[in-house]
Chains A and B, each alone.
Chain A
Amino acid sequence: DAKTTQPPSMDCAEGRAANLPCNHSTISGNEYVYWYRQIHSQGPQYIIHGLKNNETNEMASLIITEDRKSSTLILPHATLRDTAVYYCILPQGGGSNYKLTFGKGTLLTVNP
């Protein structure tokens, strides 16, 4: 499977934009990039996904580079409740794309 690389931790000030990077240099042409997050003591939560175009929803924006080798999740105005571990995931292909493989992710700490 294509692997993803994320920084282990990041800090962000409340109200500022949080930009979370993910490298996926071995991504294949038809693999989507998915982002989930896990707030402490809760189950993971789907955030957003994309293939090659930038995407935006009520939670976040996803910017994917033209070569698709990396992406950035943007939380435009981070709040304290956005403190969580953020996972960048490329669901397995070949008919087994239901298996979400969660790596270590990035622990985002939003500070007051």
Chain B
Amino acid sequence: GAGVSQSPSNKVTEKGKDVELRCDPISGHTALYWYRQSLGQGLEFLIYFQGNSAPDKSGLPSDRFSAERTGGSVSTLTIQRTQQEDSAVYLCASSFEVSPETQYFGPGTRLLVL
């Protein structure tokens, strides 16, 4: 079956613009996660969805970042007024609710803010 997909695969934007990143989880996975990875760094947890609700938003770096999930499936991560430090690979993962430690990752969206 299809894995986790993300779009766009690459995004170049100008400082101050808003961007929207999309994640399509594996069908049947009720849990969805967003992480980001800056160049040469480890993964940084951003937010976790269980169904359409987000029990943990503690990893979002600032109020410019928001995420939503509708229909228990697709999720979008929105970054408003992008800054150069937002440049990173944004990774989405999904899992079954009962095994959140076994996460399946998408290929990521590479965001470059000029």
* Interface, chain A (partner B; CB < 8 A): 32, 34, 42-46, 49, 91, 96-105
Contacts and interface: CB of A to CB of B under 8 A. Distances in A.
Contacts of B43: 44, 100, 102
B27 interface: no
B101 A43 contact: no
Interface of B: 4, 31, 33, 35, 42-43, 45, 48, 56, 59, 91, 93, 95, 100-108
A96 B91 contact: no
Main secondary structure of the interface of A (DSSP, over half): loop
A44 to B, nearest CB: 5
Contacts of B48: 98-99
A39 to B, nearest CB: 11
B105 A44 contact: yes
